[in-house]
Chain A
Amino acid sequence: MSAIRPRQPRFVAWGWLDWVLLTALLALAALLSWRASSVFQYRWDWSTIWPFIFRLDAATGRWVPNLLVEGFLTTIRLAVWGILISGVIGTLMALARNSQRLFLRLLSVSYVMLIRNIPPVVFVFVFVFFIAGQVMPKLALADSVAKLSATGQWWVSLFFGSPKLIDNFLLGLICLSVFSGAYVTEIVRAGLESVPKSQIEAGNSLGMSHFDIARFVVLPQALRNVLPPMAGQFIQLIKDSSLVSLVSIQELTFMAQDVQVTTQRVFEVFVFVAVVYFIICFSLSQLFSALEKRYSRAFK
C-alpha cells in the first residue's frame, strides 16, 4: 500500500577480499588452461567450419546459408513455437487443475505427474516411436503442403522449415511442448494460487463471469508474479530442444553433429554451437527482465 519510491542505488562494496577471490579464480583458470594445452596437442582450426555457416553456391555465385544456419533457424522455430504452445498448454492445464470438475483436475494432475517423473530422453523416444509413429504418417502433412500454392509453401517454410521435413518438425515440436508444458503448468498454478481469493470475490461482486475473472483479473496478475520462473523454464525449453536431435529433427545440435563428423573439428563446432545457444538464451532472459520491469510499474 506504499506510494512509489525512487529505487535506492545499490550499495557498491568492493574490498580486499574480493580482489583475493578474483585473483584466485583467474589463477585457477590460467592453471587449468595451461594444463589442458600441455596435455593434448590440439591445433585450433576455425577455417573449416565457416563454410558450414555460409557457403558459396557454385551455380548462382551467391552466398547461401548452410547446415549450421539451417539448424539455428530450426532451433529458433522450435523455441518460438515451443514457448507459445507450452505456454498455452500450461495455462489451460493450470486452469484445469483449479476447475470444479473432477475430470479436468485429474487430467491435469496425471499429465504433470506422468511427464515430470520420466526422463526427457525416454519421453522423447517413447513419444516419437510408439505414439507419434502411429499418428503422423496417417495425417500425410507433407503431401498436403506440397499441394499448396507457391506463396503458401513459402509461408509454411518460413514458419515450419522445409516442407519435406514438416512431419518430422511437428513431431519434435509437439514432443518438446508437451514435455515443457508440464513444468509450465506447475509454474502457472503457483501463480494462480498467489492471487488472493478476494480478487475473485471482487470480480464476482461486480457480476463478472468466471471466464472474464480468469482472463482479466486472475491470469494477468498470476503471470506477472511468475515471470522469473517462467523465463527459467523457457530457457530450459530452448536447451532441451537439443534433445529432439536424437530423433533426427535437424536443429542446431543435430547439424553440429553432422558437421563434426564431416570436418572432424569437434571442439570448434561445439564451441560455436555453445556460443549460439548462449546468445539465444541470453536474449530471451533479457527480454523477460524487460517484461518484468514493465509489469512492475503496477505493484501492490
Chain B
Amino acid sequence: MSQAIIQLSSVNKWFGDVHVLRDIDLTIQQGERMVICGPSGSGKSTLIRCINRLEQHDSGSITVDGIELDEDTAHVAAIRREVGMVFQSFNLFPHLTVLENCALPQIRVRGTPRAQAEAKAMEYLRRVQIPEQSHKFPGQLSGGQQQRVAIARSLCMEPKVMLFDEPTSALDPEMIKEVLDVIIDLAQSGMTMVCVTHEMGFAKKVADTVVFMDGGRVVEKAPPEQLFTNPQSERTKKFLSQILSH
C-alpha cells in the first residue's frame, strides 16, 4: 500500500466571520491524482492554498511529507520546497524572461549554479513544448504558453507534489487543451497532484479520486466513475447535472 504524502485532519479556517473550511479530513497518497470540484465559494482553492501556507489554517493539522505545517518558518520553507503550485492567473514574473523565470528559483532556493539551472529550465521547457520561447518575456506569450511556462517553472524545483488552482479557468477555450495535455502527461508520469478544476472530462481521464466540496465541507469523495455515474449526495447530483447538462 502506498503511503500518505499529504494529510489534513479536522482543518478549519475562517475569513473573518465566514467559515470557509469546516472539519476537512483528507488524505492524499503518494502518486495519487486528486481532482477537487465544487461550486465557487465552496472553499476548494482555499483548501489547496492551505497546503503550502499561502493561507493559514486556524485549527486542525496539515502534514506534508511527514512535516507538520505550523508556525515554524523552517517547516513552512521545507514544505514549500516539496510542493509546487500552478495558479489560475499564471503569476509568472513579468520582468524576467521565460528562461530566467525557470532558473531564478532554482538558483536562489536550491543554490543550483546558473548554467545547471538554465539547462534544467530548458529541459522542462522542452517537456512543455515551448523551448523556442525561452528568451521571450511572459507578456509576449499567449495565456496557454504562459501557463505551460508556469508549470515548467514549478517542475524545475523537482517537487514531490503539484497543486493546480484552476489552471485553465483564465484561458481561452482553444488554449485549454494544450495546458491539459501537459498536465495529463505529468499525471501519467506518476506525479502526485491535487487539481482544482471544472474540467470534468479531464477529471474522468486522469483522476484517481474526485472530491466534491460545498460550503467548506467535503461532501463526497470517490473514484471518478463512481462519483460521476452514481453520486451519493443530493448536492453532488445537482451540481453535476448543472455542469454536465450543457
Contacts and interface: CB of A to CB of B under 8 A. Distances in A.
B84 A205 contact: yes
Range of interface residues on chain A? 20 to 34
A205 B50 CA distance: 11
A219 to B, nearest CB: 10
A199 B146 CA distance: 14
A300 B139 contact: yes
B140 to A, nearest CB: 6
Interface residues of B, number: 31
A204 B137 contact: no
Interface stretch (B14-22, B101-109, B220-228): B101-109
B143 A202 contact: no
Given A1-B143, A199-B91, A221-B94, A205 B137 contact: no
A207 B157 contact: yes
B99 to A, nearest CB: 13
B24 to A, nearest CB: 20
A217 B138 CA distance: 14
A205 B157 CA distance: 11
A220 B91 contact: no
B52 interface: yes
Interface string A172-212: 00000000000000000000000000110111111111001
A204 B80 CA distance: 7
B52 A205 contact: yes
Interface string B114-156: 0000000000000000000000010110110010000001100
A6 to B, nearest CB: 13
A212 B111 CA distance: 12
A4 interface: yes
Interface of A: 1-4, 198-199, 201-209, 212, 216-217, 220-221, 224, 295, 297-300
